[in-house]
Amino acid sequence: MTYHMYNREVEAMPREKLRELQSERLCAMVKRVYEKIPMYRARFDSMGLRPEDIRTIDDIAKLPFTYKQDLRDNYPYGLFAVPMEEVVRIHASSGTTGKQTVVGYTANDMKLWGEVMARTIGAGGVTKVDIGHISYGYGLFTGGLGGGLGSETIGCATIPASTGNTRRQVTILQDFKPTFILATPSYALTIAEFLEQNGLTSDELCLKAGFFGAEPWTESMRKEIEKRLNLKAYDIYGLSEVIGPGVAYECECQHGLHVNEDHFYLEIIDPETGEQLPDGTEGEIVFTCMTKEALPLVRYRTRDVGMCMPGECECGRSFVRMVKPAGRTDDMLIIRGVNVFPSQIESVLMDLDGIAPYYQMIVERDGNLDKLTVLVELTEETFTDEVRKLEAMSQKVTEAIHSVLGIAAKVKLVEPKSIERFEGKAKRVIDKRTQVNF
């Protein structure tokens, strides 16, 4: 089979040529950040590093890291490499802790964003005859406008549906007949649920592909979405500090996410030592934005946990593949000394028959002991009027969580839709513990 590519010339570029391009772009970028960004100049100087020391892409390991804290310390515009007159767009992250992270784009950055997002959607076979439904939030969040930009770059009629009002969204899906959708995976399931509750089926929709990201999701959730919405579900990855959506994307093989490596250089490092790790080893994902003008970050520590896949992809792309991040190092909870990712709880629930994938983890401290409570939403299918069956169900979940995570959790069945959903992004974790300092 021939695999769809938006920009075959670049996406399937020979590896050696790609490395040359990366070397060239990295050297130019290093000079630029040294000249334009005081924080980098100071950092290079203190390490005795001169821009000329960077000659090829392999020299990247000599460069200092950039941390999220650096963006906060230079809030809002301190890390911009261009004067404000060249900036055409500003986005900001939700900033659940501390200050918002502010990112900027020049006109060229916007073109670059459109290109990488077009590759992302194009990899799913989308062409300009398609109609795109963008269910990511339009606003400061990069998802909506970034997703829409990619769709428009391909030349698709683009519906900026944004988030919320599922009834209206379903009417649009039925009447405007979009052929692909961009949304969070949990919102895709909300749509599926709405269809089922209102006696509708996916036959009423024309969707053939969906591009889901902005929150971690599992393989079983992918199967669920594909079955219930009758489409092919692609995982997409991005973060606003790098560009937003469009950093890495799945091809039709759905086996790893190809990194747009001509623009974003990927490294996997040991978060403790900072050393680069070989392919096939899990570590922290680090990106260098080689071509961005407004906010060119050097070796940005994403805190996402991932891995570079060894070997080449069947689709013919030369871009390296990364394994879908298991979770953010931020998302990772340490409960009674055990590392727990919310996505693990999700896998447990998806593997149990008749349990809805809507859950919320509440972590509290009771004396010196961490206490984990998992709220699980009940569905009409799973509800029975026999108390012992309901108790057996929560017991089954408790045991499954215990066998997967190795920790005891209290499982509490709650009413459907009682778990807060924020802009389509389900709030998975409530950590009530106060920070422990070591």
Partner 1 sequence: MLLKQISVFAENRRGAIMDITGVLHEAGVNIRAISIADTTDFGVVRLIVDKRKEALAALRANGMTVKETDVVALAVDDTPGAFHAALKALTDSGIMVEYSYGFVSPMGDGATIILKCDDQEKALGCLTAKGFKLLTADDVKF
Single residue of 384, 392, 395, 433 touching partner 1 by CB under 8 A: 384
CB of 390 to partner 1, least distance (A): 7
Closer to partner 1 by CB, 69 or 198: give it: 198
Select 171 or 384, whichever has its Cβ closest to partner 1.
Answer: 384
Q: Of the two residues 274 and 416, which places its CB atom closer to partner 1 in the complex?
A: 416
Q: By CB under 8 A, which span of 56-64, 243-251, 305-313, 380-388 interacts with partner 1?
A: 380-388
Contacts of 345 (CB under 8 A, 6+ apart): 359, 361, 374, 401, 405, 428
- Which H or E run includes 227? helix 219-229
Position 366 contacts partner 1 (CB under 8 A): no
Task: Give the DSSP letter string of 340-394.
Answer: E-HHHHHHHHHHSTT--S-EEEEEEEETTEEEEEEEEE--TTT--S-HHHHHHHH
386 binds partner 1 (CB under 8 A): yes
Does residue 349 contact residue 342 with C-beta atoms inside 8 Å?
no
Size of the site for partner 1 (CB under 8 A): 18
d(CA 158, CA 156): 6
Cβ proximity to partner 1: between 116 and 372 the closer is: 372
Interface with partner 1, residue 432, by CB under 8 A: no
Q: Determine, following the binding rule CB under 8 A, whether residue 110 of this chain makes contact with partner 1.
A: no
The two tokens of residue 113 are: 């964003």
Q: Write down the least CB distance from residue 366 to partner 1, Å.
A: 16
Shortest CB 425 distance to partner 1, Å: 20
Q: Which of 60, 322, 378, 400: binder of partner 1 (CB under 8 A)?
A: 378
> What DSSP line would sit under 9-78, residue for residue?
HHHT--HHHHHHHHHHHHHHHHHHHHHH-HHHHHHHHHHT--GGG--SGGGGGGSPPB-HHHHHHTTTTT
Q: How far is the CB of 372 from partner 1 (least distance, A)?
A: 15
State the DSSP H helix or E strand holding residue 431, giving kind and residue range, or none if neither: strand 429-431
Residue 79, H or E segment: none
Kindly give the pairing relationship between strand 429-431 and strand 359-366: parallel
Residue 91 forms beta bridges with which residues? 103
Task: Print the binding letters for residues 408-427 with partner 1: x by CB under 8 A, - otherwise.
Answer: ----xxxxxxx---------
Tell me the DSSP string of 144-183.
HHHHHHHHHHHT-EEE---SS-HHHHHHHHHHT--SEEEE
Residues 188-227, mask of contacts with partner 1 (x by CB under 8 A):
----------------------------------------
Residue 387 sits in the site that holds partner 1 (CB under 8 A): yes
Single out the segment in contact with partner 1 by CB under 8 A; choices: 12-20, 227-235, 383-391, 398-406. Answer: 383-391
Nearer to partner 1, 1 or 387 (CB): 387
User: Closer to partner 1 at the Cβ: 272 or 380?
Assistant: 380
Q: Return d(Cα 324, Cα 347) in angstroms, integer.
A: 14
Q: For partner 1, which residue of 380, 403, 420, 437 counts as binding (CB under 8 A)?
A: 380
Nearer CB in complex with partner 1: 170/323 = 170
Q: What's the first-to-final CA gap in the chain, in angstroms? A: 56
Of 281 and 395, which CB lies nearer to partner 1 in the complex structure? Answer: 395
Q: Does 356 bind partner 1 (CB under 8 A)?
A: no
Q: Phi and psi for 366 in degrees, rounded to 5?
A: -115, 100
Do residues 155 and 193 lie in contact, with contact meaning Cβ atoms separated by under 8 Å?
no
Task: Tokens for 217, please give them.
Answer: 């999701």
DSSP code at position 197: H
Residue 264 or 358 with smaller CB distance to partner 1: 358
Judged by CB under 8 A, the residue of 39, 277, 390, 404 near partner 1 is 390
> Which residues in this chain contact partner 1 in the complex, by CB under 8 A?
378-380, 383-387, 390-391, 394, 412-418
